[in-house]
């Protein structure tokens, strides 16, 4: 149990919660599959949101969406402040993205996932007032070695030394955005290779922290909400993450200041999510390095999910076969 400032007692999220949450990401991924490659990312996202909301409503917890996709008047998006779950069990903060990679899904490209991150109530940083964040993510070798205040060249060389790898064998994940042109040039000028990703920097960050991944580091400017969700996963993997808020205007910066955010501060993992009891759950929508996408063979739908829990430091993969007939009216 945990005690809040008001004195209320809440049960902490336990291991049983993870298997309940994976049902919600499985549902979202399955419902999105008819829209893969059809060019309509709004329809894909809407189907995934509806499915995730429905399944979350059956989960035994009292969740509040801290990081969602939209506001209440933009339904069917899961919005910031929305209450999910059946209201019983542990009180939790939720970061949710029914499809991280809607453009990937619509185009039929790989690496789209459905994901949820969960932590104790009041522990997630609410960075919704500032959309962008500069981030660096690595495995455990980057702890005490890498620093977002250093140049990308310094970080790559330092991490290569810590991992015992030649710089030429390092692979750095970067979002394919015009703002990263110079960053990509700097990475390549050091001799390292790039892994250019079209979308989905949450999966890229997790891959950078995995011991069996071909990605050594994820770096660049992406969404602040995604940074918080990634931190929940990195805590379970024992990896390294730092973020620094990157407002695009003075007006946005003032909104951030009013919300209590800091712009002279490097956010560490414990700043992004203060709890040491975090969950991260993701199900593949399309095939990627993190998880395989949804498959259907006759009457069987197969999903692959990854379940991370920081308290136990475990990474579980869940492969599930679903009878297609059960989804006709689900």
Annotated binding site: 45, 69, 97, 100-102, 132, 177-179, 199-201, 223, 226
The Cα angle at residue 150 between residues 129 and 210, in degrees rounded to 5:
75
Q: Measure the CA–CA gap between 227 and 206, rounded to whole angstroms.
A: 11
The Cα angle at residue 139 between residues 174 and 236, in degrees rounded to 5:
110
Q: Which H helix or E strand runs over 317?
A: strand 314-323
Q: Is the Cα torsion angle 104, 81, 233, 143 positive or negative in sign?
A: positive
Other Cβ atoms less than 10 A from the Cβ of 276: the count is 12
| 3-class DSSP state of 229 | helix
Residues shown for the chain: 330
Q: Which residue has the tokens 């990081």?
A: 67
The Cα angle at residue 319 between residues 317 and 320, in degrees rounded to 5:
140
Binding site, annotated residues for substrate:
100-102, 132, 177-179, 199-201, 223
276 close to 311: Cβ distance less than 8 angstroms: yes
What pairing do the DSSP bridges indicate for beta strands 314-323 and 300-309?
A: antiparallel
Q: Which residue has the tokens 């891959």?
A: 207
Q: What are phi and psi of 33, to 5 degrees?
A: -60, -35
Q: Which residue has the tokens 């069917």?
A: 76
Tokens of 296: 């259907």
Q: Measure the CA–CA gap between 207 and 269, rounded to whole angstroms.
A: 16
| 3-class DSSP state of 153 | helix
Q: Measure the CA–CA gap between 30 and 67, rounded to whole angstroms.
A: 22
């Amino acid at each position: 149990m945990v005690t809040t400032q008001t004195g209320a007692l809440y049960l902490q999220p336990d291991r049983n919660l993870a298997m309940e949450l994976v049902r919600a990401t499985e549902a979202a991924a399955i419902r999105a599959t008819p829209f893969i490659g059809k060019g309509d990312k709004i329809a894909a996202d809407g189907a995934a949101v509806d499915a995730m909301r429905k399944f979350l409503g059956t989960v035994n917890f009292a969740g509040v969406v801290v990081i969602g996709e939209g506001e209440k008047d933009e339904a069917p998006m899961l919005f910031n402040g929305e209450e999910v779950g059946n209201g019983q069990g542990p009180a939790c903060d939720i970061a949710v993205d029914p499809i991280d990679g809607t453009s990937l899904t619509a185009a039929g490209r790989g690496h789209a996932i459905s994901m949820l991150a969960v932590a104790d109530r009041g522990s997630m940083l609410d960075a919704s007032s500032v959309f962008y964040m500069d981030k660096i993510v690595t495995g455990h070798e980057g702890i005490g070695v890498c620093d977002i205040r250093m140049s990308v060249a310094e970080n790559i060389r330092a991490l290569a030394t810590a991992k015992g790898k030649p710089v030429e064998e390092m692979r750095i994940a970067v979002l394919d955005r015009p703002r990263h042109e110079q960053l990509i040039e700097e990475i390549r000028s050091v001799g390292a290779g790039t892994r250019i990703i079209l979308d989905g920097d949450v999966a890229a960050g997790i891959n950078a922290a995995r011991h069996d991944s071909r990605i050594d580091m994820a770096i660049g400017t992406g969404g602040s909400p995604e940074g918080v969700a990634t931190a929940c996963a990195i805590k379970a993997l024992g990896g390294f993450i730092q973020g620094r808020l990157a407002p695009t205007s003075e007006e946005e910066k003032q909104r951030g200041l009013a919300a209590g955010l800091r712009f002279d501060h490097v956010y560490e993992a414990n700043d992004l999510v203060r709890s040491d009891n975090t969950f991260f759950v993701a199900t593949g929508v399309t095939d990627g390095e993190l998880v395989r996408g949804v498959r259907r063979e006759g009457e069987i739908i197969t999903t692959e999910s990854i379940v991370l829990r920081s308290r136990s430091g475990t990474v579980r993969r869940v492969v599930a076969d679903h009878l297609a007939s059960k989804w006709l009216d689900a």
